[in-house]
Structure 1
Amino acid sequence: MTPANSQRLSIGFVLLPRFTMLPFAGFVDCLRLAADEGDMSRQLRCHWTFMTSDGEGALSSCGATITPCEQYQDPARFDYLVVIAGVLKDKEMVDRATIDYLKRADRQGVPLVGICTGVFALIQAGLMHQRRCCVSWYHHGDLVRRFGQVTPVSDRLFIDDGDRLTCAGGIASADLAAYLVERHLGRAWAKKSLHIMLIDEARQGNHPQPHPLVLNKVDNRQVRRAIAIIEQHLGELISVDELADRVGCSRRGLERSFRESLGVSPQKFSRDLRLRYGLWLLHFTSKSITEVGERCGFSDTAHFSRNFKDTFGYSPSEVRKGTVGLQEDLVDPFFLHIGKT
């Protein structure tokens, strides 16, 4: 593919209100470092344009504003349009001008990239029908609630579906940018960018998202809130009393709700989830067993190993040595053995 403006890789960024800064910065910096030698930041091999529907600066979720931005330009100028969003407020989060612009790009055959909740904009524009849709585990529930007809994929970093590319966001946007740089400019330029960004190598799109999260179909609001708190603090022990206080109920009430909804106590749910996180870390990282135990909130290696073997039937060292195969359900971040031990 040759860009119409003679640049070897041309990207148009569609920045939606309250977009997240990290995926934006990771993507554009990968382009910037591949575009030029040294640290000159000239747009030689790559070209990028920041755009908003009114041409005004784009306010990110952290309060920083990206400026200058242009009003939406002819999509034919670009090899890809990259849509980045972030914090969600309203169901109709995308304005009419943006929807019309994305549809225009689709008619012109310009590939569309949805990053973080930018994929919501593609769905809202009607451009993801019967398409695979990569989304972060963090926004999985939001997507299902807002767009029940779409089946999200939350166990990988990004998906290349031809003229639709979707990415979970976060630092995975740098992996996707490197993937596109390698496609257009060659592997050396992609590796150059990542090395300067202190990233060892690009992860492939099918690399699992680094969090064994659980999205149970739980109706109880307090249990769902408690699960979210546990998930966000996998490296530390939160007492049931503190958990109950944070979700606004009594300890006894929370324990009763957990048993009614999940068949286990909050303590067991937390322990099983932290152990499952440890299993994920052992399979997909090079951290030592001691480090894994600490990351999962266990006081010492022996305590971690004993609980691990009681739960899974084999020891952490067996996983690390490769004598235990990868469980199929482990790559599914929304599956958890509840009440099996």
Structure 2
Amino acid sequence: MSNPLPIVPSPETAEKARIRFGIVLLPNFTLTAFSGFVDMLRLSADDGDFSKPVRCSWRVLGETLAPVRASCGIQITPWETFDNAEPVDYLVIVGGLLHSGPQASEATLQYIRCAAAGTTTVVGICTGVFTLMRAGVLDAHRICVSWFHYWDFIERFPSVNADAIVADRLFVIDRRRITCSGGRASIDVAAAILLRHFDHATVQKALRILLVGEMQKGNAPQPHPPGLEPATHPKVKRAILLMEQQVGRNVPLEELACKLNLSARQLERLFKSETGKSPRTFANALRLRTAAWLLTSSDRTVADIASSCGFSDASHLGREFRKQFGVPPNMFREQRSGQEPTQFPDLDAFFRPDSSLTSDVEPGASLH
């Protein structure tokens, strides 16, 4: 008896089973976020390594077919307009620069609203989350924001519940809303989405081709801003990111520990062993570092910076600056204007285990 012929799905059946992605590039989008995401789709879509869209397909969509400029200057032309686009399973919004050029058009916002009202899962990458907020499709959802854009997000959307904002993780999947901090994490969030539909080997093969290895899970901490090492324990890394996220607020130690599923005493011990400092001392150093960065990178007043960084007033900030740098804030600004914080060795020294930074705050239940 001869072996039966294999059953080959018809083109219609294959098309129906294919996972469909629509990608919208916002003005000044980040090329890394776009390319990382779409390359994961490309490498996972086909067994023969010919980049054929067998398992999934992707299309770049736009209000018009006018090229969209990335923040690096490269331009990409949409393949289809919103009016002619077919329904997709995932609508991916890729953002980038916030303060340069036009934002998403009203037609783009309306297209996102229509997709979100149906069965489409909406994905915001990098500052694409800002556009999802403007479209009004993130109500009652947890929202992942890059630590770098946390304060921009708070300023633009002050009515959002602070507990819903996640600025210490790579990405968040909350029902049919997915938000991602951007950069290299776009690869990780693409892998997490593909694992919903494909076997692990298929997704792992794509990661290996990209020389990524294992994907990072959504609850992995976002990388540190410069100078915040040597903390290596994931709980300490996340604690530091939370401190920076709320650098202007008087955060009780118990509240911070609760967010990390630790007791206050556990966090205190772990922090001391990893950084050589208490959470309170580290938070005070972080406030000074942030104030120094604002002094050299903005024209905000000393009083405004003091308020933003959790100091009681300009005099309080002035005392701390004289104590650590030997000069008042305005002189510090004049001497170091135009420099990056990574060029301040005396700032980086704060975060070394042998640093003797002191805090003028009396012992208590808060970090500041």
TM-score w.r.t. length of structure 1: 0.67
Which residue of structure 1 aligns with residue 185 of structure 2?
172
One-letter amino acid of the structure 2 residue matched with residue 264 of structure 1: E
SS for the counterpart of 2:91 is strand
| Kept in 2: contact 1:81–1:111 (CA 8 A) | yes
2:14 matches 1:20: no
Whole-angstrom CA distance in 1 between matches of 2:322 and 2:80: 51
Whole-angstrom CA distance in 1 between matches of 2:218 and 2:52: 28
Whole-angstrom CA distance in 1 between matches of 2:210 and 2:92: 20
Gaps of 5+ in 1: 231-242, 270-293, 312-335
CA separation of 1:248 and 1:78: change in aligned 2, threshold 3 A: closer
2:173 matches 1:160: yes
One-letter amino acid of the structure 2 residue matched with residue 260 of structure 1: H
Which residue of structure 2 aligns with residue 149 of structure 1?
159
Gaps of 5+ in 2: 1-11, 225-239, 250-285, 326-344, 360-365
Which residue of structure 2 aligns with residue 260 of structure 1?
316
CA separation of 1:63 and 1:225: change in aligned 2, threshold 3 A: farther
Matches within 5 A, 1:148-297: 148-150=158-160, 151=162, 152-211=165-224, 212-213=240-241, 214-215=244-245, 216-217=247-248, 227=290, 230=293, 260-261=316-317, 264-265=320-321
One-letter amino acid of the structure 1 residue matched with residue 157 of structure 2: F
The structural deviation recorded for 1:16 is 1.0
Whole-angstrom CA distance in 2 between matches of 1:52 and 1:153: 29
The structural deviation recorded for 1:195 is 0.8
| Kept in 2: contact 1:76–1:110 (CA 8 A) | no
The structural deviation recorded for 1:268 is 5.3
The structural deviation recorded for 1:96 is 1.1
The RMSD of aligned alpha carbons is 3.9
The more displaced of 140-149 and 103-112 is 103-112
Matches within 5 A, 1:116-127: 116-127=126-137
Deviation readout 1:235-262 (Å, 9 max, x if unpaired) = xxxxxxxx9676679x9xx999876249
One-letter amino acid of the structure 1 residue matched with residue 91 of structure 2: L
Deviation readout 1:118-160 (Å, 9 max, x if unpaired) = 1111111111112111010111111100111123210111111
One-letter amino acid of the structure 1 residue matched with residue 248 of structure 2: K
Which residue of structure 2 aligns with residue 273 of structure 1?
none
The structural deviation recorded for 1:178 is 0.4
Whole-angstrom CA distance in 1 between matches of 2:130 and 2:13: 27
One-letter amino acid of the structure 1 residue matched with residue 21 of structure 2: I
| Kept in 2: contact 1:15–1:85 (CA 8 A) | yes
Whole-angstrom CA distance in 2 between matches of 1:308 and 1:45: 57
| Kept in 2: contact 1:158–1:172 (CA 8 A) | yes
CA separation of 1:248 and 1:160: change in aligned 2, threshold 3 A: closer
Which residue of structure 1 aligns with residue 328 of structure 2?
none
Whole-angstrom CA distance in 2 between matches of 1:180 and 1:200: 17
Matches within 5 A, 1:280-319: 304-307=352-355
| Kept in 2: contact 1:9–1:45 (CA 8 A) | yes
CA separation of 1:107 and 1:68: change in aligned 2, threshold 3 A: closer
2:88 matches 1:32: no
| Kept in 2: contact 1:4–1:78 (CA 8 A) | no
Which residue of structure 1 aligns with residue 259 of structure 2?
none
CA separation of 1:112 and 1:248: change in aligned 2, threshold 3 A: closer
Which residue of structure 1 aligns with residue 94 of structure 2?
84
Which residue of structure 2 aligns with residue 107 of structure 1?
117
Which residue of structure 2 aligns with residue 281 of structure 1?
none
* Identity level (%): 37
Whole-angstrom CA distance in 1 between matches of 2:114 and 2:13: 18
One-letter amino acid of the structure 2 residue matched with residue 103 of structure 1: R
Kindly tell me the number of residue pairs found equivalent between the two proteins: 267
| Kept in 2: contact 1:4–1:77 (CA 8 A) | no
Deviation readout 1:172-209 (Å, 9 max, x if unpaired) = 11000001111111111111111111112111111111
